[in-house]
Amino acid sequence: MIHHQLIVVGGGLAGLRAAIEAKDAGVDVAILSQVHPGRSHSGAAQGGVNAALANHPEGHDDNPEKHAFDTVKGSDYLADQHAALQMTTDAVPAIYELEHMGCPFSRFDDGRIAQRPFGGAGYPRTCYGADKTGQYMLHTLVEQAYKRHITMYIEWFVCRLIVEDGVCRGVVAYSMTKGGFEEFRGEAVIIATGGAGRTYSTTTNAIISTGGGAAMAYHAGVPLKDMEFVQFHPTTLYTTHILMTEGCRGEGGYLLNRDGERFMAKYAPKAMELAPRDITARAIQTEIDEGRGIDGKAYVYLDLRHLGAEKLAERLPGTRDLAIHFEGVDPVYEPIPIVPGQHYTMGGIDTDVDGRTSMPGLLAAGECACVSVHGANRLGGNSLLETIVFGRRAGTAAARDILGHERSSGPDGNVGAAAAAVEAYVDDLASREGTEDAYAVREEMTEVMRAHFGIFRDEATMKEGLDKLVGLKARLKKAKLRHTGGVWNLDMIRTMELEGMLDVALAIASGALVRTESRGSHARTDWDKRDDERWLRHTLACYEGDDPPKLDYTPVDMGLFEPQERKY
C-alpha cells in the first residue's frame, strides 16, 4: 500500500492543474497516469482557450459576462449559469497565470496574447499558440509539475476506486512497467481522466480516451450527468477522423459542398462557418445526407487555400502537417476532405463548481466531469479553459478538506482487500469460457454508437442501438483474457477498460432515448424542437449493475440569462 494525502488520477491539464494547486497548498499529492503526463490527450487540443482578455481590437469591450452569455447560449441553455460565469470569470487570471508559467502563446504586435474568433463567440476571445495550444499548455504544466517535484506514478493504469463506508479512500492501480496491482490510499481522490470518445468508432480522441475515470466513479455509485450530450466536431479528416481545428474557420476557412457553395449560408447566415459546433456539424451531415458531398461521397471540403501559405505557416502549421501526413492533401494547394466526428463528452461525473461529487473524498475535474458549464453543446475553446479553471478549483477544495482534517485516512483494517478483489477479478477474466472476442465486442460497440447515437437520432434507431449494447454487454462476459503476463499487459488493460466503456455507452444511450426533445448536440428527427417546459433539466444516470441505468433529473441553475431561440 502506498499513501499520499491526495491522489490525482490522470495527468492531463485538469489533473496537473489540480496537483499543482494542492502541492502549493502544502498537500502531499501524487499523480497516477496511464501515460507520461506530457502524452495526455489534452495535448491534442489545437485551436485555443477562451478568456475575455479583450486584447483583440474587435474585442476591446469583451468581459466575462459576455463570455458566460455565449457559453450559456451555446449550451442551448442547459449549462448551469452561475457555474458558467464562474468559469469565465476565473478564465482571465487563469490565462495570465499560465502565461507567467511560460506557456508560449502567439502574440499580437503589441506583445500581448493573441486572440482569434471561434464558433459561437460574440468576440474574438480565443487565446492560442499557433494551432498547438493544447500541446503548449500541457508541456507548460508538465514543466511546472517537475519544478514542484510532484510525485508522478507514470504508466500506472488505475482500475478501481477504493470505497469504504461510502467514502472514497483511494484507488487500485496496475503497474504497467513492473506488473502487479497496488493500493494507493489517501484522504481524497481527484479523477481527471478525460473523455469517452473511444466509445465511438469515428472520433478525434486519443486511444486512451475511454471514459475509464467516469466509469470507475459510476460503478462506485456516483451519477453521471447529461451523458447523452456528445459533441461531434464539424471538421475531422475523412479517413482518420483526426481533428482539423475550429481555428481553420476562425482564421477564415470555408466549408464547401459539391457545388463549391459555402453552404453555411443556409444554416447560419450571420455566423456562417463560425456557428457553434452542433449547428455546423448538422449542416455538414445534412449536405452529405442530401447528396451534396464532394462527388456524391460522404465528405465536404474545408478550404484554406485563400488564406495563403504564409498565414498557414504562421497560424495553422500543425493543421497543414496533419492534412499532409494523414490525408495526403496539402491545404496550401488543395481543399481538405472532412466529415464530422465524435469529439467531446459534455456529460460526465456529476460535480459542483469545486469538483466535489456526491461521494465524500471523491472529486473530479476536466472532461470526465460535468459541472455543468457546457450543457448540451460546448463552445470551442471552452474545454481547455475548463481543465485549468476546474482543475485548480478541485485542487483547492481537496487541499482545504485534507488540511482542515475534514477527512481522515480512516482505519487501515481493509488494506489489501481492494487489490485482492481486483486480482481475483482478473483471474476470473482469465478463466472465462472464452467463446466471445473482446475486440470484436469493442468494434461493434463503437459502430453501434456511431450509427445509433450519432448526429441525428430517433426513437426506433436508438431503441435498436440500446438493445444491441445490452447484448454486447452480455457477450463481453464470455470473453476471456488471451494474455496473462504481468508486465505491459495490453490485453488485460483493454479488456478491463472495455467493461467501463460499455457502461458509459449505455448511460449515453439510455439518457438519449428518454430525452424527447432536440437540444444542442442531441438532435432528434422525431422531436425536433427544444422543450424547456419538460426538458430544461439535467439527466443523472445511476449505475444499476446488469440492469439499465436509473435515470434521475435535476434542475438547471438559471437566473442570469433567459432562454431564447438560438440563432446565429
Please give the positions annotated as active site.
277
**Which phi-psi region, left, alpha or beta, contains residue 372 (left: φ > 0; alpha: ψ -120 to 50)?**
beta
How many whole angstroms separate alpha carbon 193 and alpha carbon 46?
19
Residues 283, 269: Cα–Cα separation, whole Å: 12
Only one residue has cell 499548455, namely 137
Buried b (16+ CB within 10 A) or exposed e, 501-539: bbbbbbbbbbbbbebebbbbbbbbeebeebeeeebbebb
Name the residue nearer to another protein (CB basis): 53 or 72.
Answer: 53
Quick one: DSSP state of residue 445?
H
Are 284 and 255 contacting, i.e. CB atoms less than 8 angstroms apart? yes
Task: Specify burial of residue 305 (Cβ count, 10 A radius: 0-12, 13-18, 19+).
Answer: middle
CA atoms of 94 and 255, how far apart (whole Å): 33
Closer of 57 and 411 to another protein (Cβ)? 57
Query: Applying CB under 8 A, which residues contact another protein?
Result: 35-36, 38-41, 43-44, 53, 95-96, 99-102, 104-113, 129-130, 132, 135-136, 139, 143-144, 146-147, 154, 177, 206-208, 239-240, 242-243, 318, 321-322, 325-326, 439, 481-483, 485-491
Comparing CB distances to another protein, the nearer of 379 and 429 is 429
Chain centroid, CA 204 distance in Å = 11
C-beta closer to another protein: residue 199 or 518: 199
- What is the 3-class SS of 251-267, one letter each residue? CCCEEECCCCCCCHHHH
DSSP β-ladder status, 369-370 and 348-350: parallel
DSSP code, position 413:
T
C-alpha cell at 478: 464470455
| Contact assessment for residue 387 and residue 12, using Cβ atoms and an 8 Å cutoff | yes
Residue 260: Cβ within 10 Å count: 12
CB-count exposure of residue 112 (10 Å: 0-12, 13-18, 19+): middle
DSSP 461-475: HHHHHHHHHHHHHHH
Grid coordinates standing for 480? 476471456
CB of 198 vs another protein, minimal distance in Å: 11
Give every strand in the sheet of 126-127, ordered side by side: 49-50, 126-127, 115-116
Smallest gap from residue 446 Cβ to another protein (A): 13
- Sheet order of strands, 167-175 included: 2-3, 181-185, 167-175, 156-164
Cell of 442: 469493442
Backbone angles phi, psi at 415, to 5 degrees: -55, 130
Nearer to another protein, 443 or 528 (CB): 443
Quick one: cell of 155?
A: 504508466
